[in-house]
Amino acid sequence: MTISGTSEGSARTAARSLVAEGRFEEAWRLARSSLLAQPTPTALAVAGNVLRAGRKAGFIPAGSRRARLAILCSYEAASLVEALEVACAALSIEAELHLAPYGQLEQELLVDHGPLAEFAPTHVLIAPSTADLGLPELADEQDAPELVRTAAGRWQRLWELVRERHGATVLQHTFVVPELTPLGHMSMRLAGSRVSMIRELNRQLGESAGSSVLLVDCERLAADAGKRSWQDPRLWFGARQPWGGDAIGMLALQTAALLAADLGLAARCLVVDLDNTLWGGVVGEDGIDGIEIGEGPAGEAYAAFQDYVRALGERGVVLAVASKNDRESAEEPFRAHRGMRLSLDDFAVFLADWRPKSEQVSEIAATLGIGLETIVFADDNAAECAQVAAALPDVTTVRLDVPPSERVRRLASTVRFELASLSREDVVRHRSYVGRARATQLREQATSLEEFWRSLQMHARVRAVEEGSLDRAAQLTRKTNQFNLTLRRHTREEIERIVAQPRGICRTLELADRFADHGIVGLGFVVQSDEDDATALIDTLLLSCRVIGRTAEVHLLAHLSAAAIDRGFTRMRGVYVQGPRNAFVADVYGRLGFVACEGQTGVWDYDLAAGPLVSSFIEDDR
């Protein structure tokens, strides 16, 4: 059995000794960044204790905006309110909170000159739980729309009351869809099921919220955390609190983040590092062929991270680079690496030099004319994050010191980029966005396969295996199990030996279509047959599953056969070796004009005197 909480434990210890020395500002900084990184109960408790101890000594954390937040709750919300107090402080909101007695939603809003009016809220949080809806497990299909409309109507009416009677902005928690249903999978097919009605209710609330209601998407939060930990039936039955102990901090922080966004406190700029942040490796040392981006497990993870960063940019977050690099090497991947998703144009400021990162970040803020508190700095190097955090405490730092595959989650966990509204102008209609929509359209429109292939406007680059593609080639032979004719696994060294053979042919295929660049997704090796020197034997022919069904194999074979003719072969021999998952390529050679060898199953010959194979749907890039 383990006793958990080591890193939080050290944050607690450090914060406590700072508090003991009366250094509240530093203790708060520490507690705050730990809470913003992950709002666990411990992080919440540490921050709460720093605030309580500080308050006694007259320390109040600096807030940039004031808010008066009233909480109208249908359940016991004391825990939530305490957490909200801490979360608001962590997001630089000087908030005064008022909790109405629970279950008194309409009453509180309707009474004249009551405690709520006296409190004069700027914001009102309406926090119900799914239990309030009282929807049946299964309603008549005809009754469902009316039930949902009535349910939505209650909250919409409350929104009106908040606006009309108190002139305040509404924050509303939406409803968690129950994960348990006696109807099982059938529940999603029935408009009258509780699950369907609550989904529809959330949709209607989203649609009708308009600009004066801020919705907290509790269904998404619960799904992210896992509904089993988000809700604790024990607490519901025993204390009328629906949320589990781990959920409170997250719910409070996310709610406060939306409030912060409404107060204009959201971050506007993301500053990223380059080496080991946007790609794997160090471009200045490993060279452009040595970095990982676009291909392979790590390369794909970095590409996914770039996609996420780019999507933030398209959504209106200003992107900038702060890198310790020579400018030239820093820019090279953007100019010359095909795996890159971000381009130099995506960045408003691009700093690559050898100054401390804090100086780079300061210069970015000055160049853009924005405050340091609107900047989020993300770096894989914990030391760089610490340097920036120490020198510029107003900057939010995100430590990407997790495996590449976890990077998007880590970046997404910051609540600093929440939006209170999204104007049309905020969103750059990026070409890829439009492009994706068109791809779907195309597939629907094309009536024959040939038409579909043509419409993809595929381009390929077939190149000899070289230093930069050896690792990817070896990886493809190891990992490809479906479109793989011989299932031969080759090490890097074995491939080097085939490359070195005078008549050996080793080719990679990169494929791009009008929507996406898939990178190296095909491989073909041809060697001289042991039996006779006029026969070129196909040692390896494989395609990554992403590009199966697009005639890429024909294109690869066209190149291999042409190269074989150049080397003086008169016959090309293909072999199919059966494996657990490659049965569907058993007759590939037969379909492409190879002739089955008599008496040998799975062996096919192609007469090179007929000329190379012809690829009709893929063009070669020069």
Is 19 a binder of another protein (CB under 8 A)?
A: yes
Is 240 a binder of another protein (CB under 8 A)?
A: no
| DSSP sequence for 571-606 | EEEEE----SS-GGGTTHHHHTT-EEPTT-TTEEEE
> Of 377-436, which residues contact another protein (CB under 8 A)?
none
Is 245 a binder of another protein (CB under 8 A)?
A: yes
Looking at the Cβ atoms of 76 and 359, the one nearer to another protein is 76
Is 45 a binder of another protein (CB under 8 A)?
A: yes
Is 5 a binder of another protein (CB under 8 A)?
A: yes
For another protein, the binding residue among 14, 26, 49, 475 (CB under 8 A) is 49
Q: Could you give the 3-state DSSP secondary structure of residue 411?
A: helix
Candidate ranges 230-238, 446-454, 495-503, 571-579; the one touching another protein (CB under 8 A): 230-238
Q: Least CB distance from residue 231 to another protein, whole Å?
A: 13
Cβ atoms 419, 313 nearer than 8 A: no
What are the E-state strand segments in 475-516? 505-512
Is 366 a binder of another protein (CB under 8 A)?
A: no
Considering CB under 8 A, how many residues would be counted as binding another protein? Answer: 26
Cβ atoms 320, 269 nearer than 8 A: yes
Candidate ranges 40-48, 357-365, 510-518, 540-548; the one touching another protein (CB under 8 A): 40-48
Contact code string over 74-113 relative to another protein, x by CB under 8 A: ----xx----------------------------------
Candidate ranges 48-56, 252-260, 313-321, 396-404; the one touching another protein (CB under 8 A): 48-56
> What is the rounded distance in angstroms from the CA atom of residue 151 to the CA atom of residue 170?
18
> Of 246-265, which residues contact another protein (CB under 8 A)?
246
Candidate ranges 29-37, 236-244, 391-399, 437-445; the one touching another protein (CB under 8 A): 236-244
Per-state percent for the chain, helix, strand, coil, to nearest 5: 50, 20, 35
Neighbour-count burial of 292, counting CB atoms closer than 10 A to its CB (0-12 exposed, 13-18 middle, 19+ buried): buried
Is 500 a binder of another protein (CB under 8 A)?
A: no
Cβ atoms 377, 299 nearer than 8 A: no
Is 244 a binder of another protein (CB under 8 A)?
A: yes
Strands 595-596 and 571-575, by their bridges, are unpaired
Candidate ranges 232-240, 260-268, 362-370, 386-394; the one touching another protein (CB under 8 A): 232-240
Place of tokens 């006029």: 534
Q: Least CB distance from residue 225 to another protein, whole Å?
A: 14
Is 1 a binder of another protein (CB under 8 A)?
A: yes
**521 in the Ramachandran plot: left (φ > 0), alpha (ψ -120 to 50) or beta?**
alpha
Looking at the Cβ atoms of 31 and 364, the one nearer to another protein is 31
> What is the rounded distance in angstroms from the CA atom of residue 254 to the CA atom of residue 510?
43
Helix ranges (H only) for 21-143 are: 24-37, 41-56, 78-90, 105-110, 115-119
> What is the rounded distance in angstroms from the CA atom of residue 201 to the CA atom of residue 134?
13
Is 16 a binder of another protein (CB under 8 A)?
A: yes
Looking at the Cβ atoms of 13 and 578, the one nearer to another protein is 13
Residues at the site binding another protein, with contacts judged by CB under 8 A: 1-5, 12, 16, 19, 41-42, 45-46, 49, 52-53, 78-79, 234-235, 237-239, 241, 244-246
